[in-house]
Amino acid sequence: MLRKVCIVGGATTPFDYGPTGFESIEGGAAECVRETQRDIPEFSLRDIDLMIYSHFSVHFGHQLAAEWIIHDHLGLVGIPHYRVENGGNTGGSALYAAALAVMSGHHDVVGVVGWETMDSVSQSQGSEFIAMASDIRYELIVGGIYPIYYAAMANKWMKDNNVTEEDVASISAKNRNNAMDNPKAQWYRNEHKYITVEDVMNSRLISYPIKKYDCCLMSRGVAFVLVCSEEYAKKVNPDGYVTIDGMGLSSCTIRAGDRLNFPGWTERYGSGYPEMTEFGACRNAADQAYKMADIKNPLNEIDFGEIHDAFSTSEAQIYKALYLADENNIAQFLRDKTTHMYGEIPMNPGGGLMGYGHPVGATGLMSAIECFYQLSGMIPQKHLSKKTEVSDPECGIVNSHAGTGTSISNFIIRRV
């Protein structure tokens, strides 16, 4: 019998770019733990029996095994630790690892710290560093940056699904405007303005059909999540803990062009899927998570989500991969603003990667933390108002996403 896995607390530093955030990763990690302790005073660092570190790129960190610096700083000598790296899905994969550790019964209280310091190089250099996770022999050298690969995938997806630039621009505006209610969000701390679909449409071309405001932010930031057994959850946060009822992790090709006819996908979903347009790994990870959590109708049974909006287009593609809409109704699903705060299934009330920010190793954890806050009724104390609080949620989805859809995890999290 697998053990139930719970989340009892977590916090992030403010996400930012440049010298306005926390000035050291270990200092940021310590502050995240301190904030968690303020939320759940019964939690002590002495309770932790495993630490998992979530960090994407040594290129940004200019320090191999930087987790050793953080671990040491937190005073946790003797406690086992290791780092998880899985591209943009590093945070989701670290959460997956922590959940497995608790589920197995081998560990009871697992701390997960994620971080990225993308402001250690210029923005254009940073884009190139991230793109080194694409195949440098075939793709980096011709495309150069991820938005170009995503744009090529989205261009065809939008044509195939009758989705317009305005439809996806509405997602960009939604997430940035949600972030205006979140004091830790990079958009709130810097640009600090409400935007419209028109603003998105008028922002500069990055790669057709993606414009500047269709893209997420490049960030510095740290996050901490506390994952544990139900026994421990009942001890430290009996009224506010949530459970990870379902989880799935799946993979796809590194080069987007290699998934037109991949035998592994043809076996699972028939020929012609995921093509270069759909996120097969997202669908597969959702299938696993839904099965585990006994979700039959995701649109009805899931109340909200914190998902990986690296681009407005990819958030829309993720809706479809998660079975929230299909090719017949995805365009209308977007036009109906189904995922806005007042819609049927609000997505990224915390601001997402476009509003909160995307310090890669911390991102998936940030999504899980926002999901936890919603389910445990903490939004009024963490956001500036109740505008971005989902009404009485019972079930949320967390999605973390890497490469061109190369590794994707989904988590179904429920209030107890």
Partner 1 sequence: MNETVVLKRKDRIVKKPDFTEKKSYRPVNVKETGLSFIGHEISEDGNVMNQFFHYDQLYTIRHGWNSKFFKGLLEGKIWGTRCPKCGDTWVPVRTHCWNLDCNLEKTEWVEMPLNGKVHTWTVAGWSGRSSLKRLPIILVYAVIGKSKVAIANELHGIKPWDVEFEMSLKVVFKPEEDRIGAVTDFHFEPADGWEPSPIHQEKERIKELVEPVYKWVKTLK
Binding site for partner 1 (CB under 8 A): 19, 23, 62, 122, 124-125, 127-128, 131, 135-145, 147-149, 151-153, 155-156, 159, 165, 204-212, 255-264, 276-277
**Quick one: 105 or 264, whose CB is closer to partner 1?**
264
From residue 107, give the alpha-carbon distance in Å to each of 41, 44, 228, 314, 395. Answer: 21, 16, 8, 35, 25
Q: How far is the CB of 345 from partner 1 (least distance, A)?
A: 29
DSSP reduced 3-state for 282:
helix
Q: Which DSSP category does 68 fall into?
A: H
φ and ψ of 108, to 5 deg: -105, -40
Q: How far is the CB of 403 from partner 1 (least distance, A)?
A: 14
Residue with tokens 């990225």: 116
d(CA 279, CA 253) in angstroms, rounded, equals 10
User: What is the chain's percent helix, strand, coil content, to nearest 5?
Assistant: 45, 20, 35
**Quick one: 2 or 136, whose CB is closer to partner 1?**
136
Q: How far is the CB of 201 from partner 1 (least distance, A)?
A: 9
Q: How far is the CB of 4 from partner 1 (least distance, A)?
A: 34
Q: How far is the CB of 249 from partner 1 (least distance, A)?
A: 19
Q: How far is the CB of 137 from partner 1 (least distance, A)?
A: 7
**Quick one: 62 or 193, whose CB is closer to partner 1?**
62
Q: How far is the CB of 176 from partner 1 (least distance, A)?
A: 19
Assess contact for 373 and 348: CB atoms under 8 A: no
Angle at 272 between CA 268 and CA 278, to 5 degrees: 85
**Quick one: 64 or 77, whose CB is closer to partner 1?**
64
d(CA 353, CA 11) in angstroms, rounded, equals 16
Q: How far is the CB of 20 from partner 1 (least distance, A)?
A: 10
**Quick one: 152 or 398, whose CB is closer to partner 1?**
152
- Indicate the length of the chain as a whole number: 416
**Quick one: 154 or 397, whose CB is closer to partner 1?**
154
**Quick one: 312 or 400, whose CB is closer to partner 1?**
312
Q: How far is the CB of 247 from partner 1 (least distance, A)?
A: 25
DSSP string, 343-410: SSS-B-TT-HHHHT---HHHHHHHHHHHHHHHHTT-HHHHSSSSTT--SS--EEEEEEEETTTTEEEE
Q: Which of 50, 70, 68 is nearest to 5 (CA)?
A: 50
Q: How far is the CB of 392 from partner 1 (least distance, A)?
A: 42
Angle at 124 between CA 122 and CA 350, to 5 degrees: 85
- Centre a 10 Å sphere on the Cβ of residue 267 and count the other Cβ atoms it contains: 9
**Quick one: 127 or 182, whose CB is closer to partner 1?**
127
Q: Is 300 exposed, middle or buried (0-12, 13-18, 19+ CB in 10 A)?
A: exposed
d(CA 189, CA 192) in angstroms, rounded, equals 6
**Quick one: 256 or 324, whose CB is closer to partner 1?**
256
**Quick one: 70 or 206, whose CB is closer to partner 1?**
206
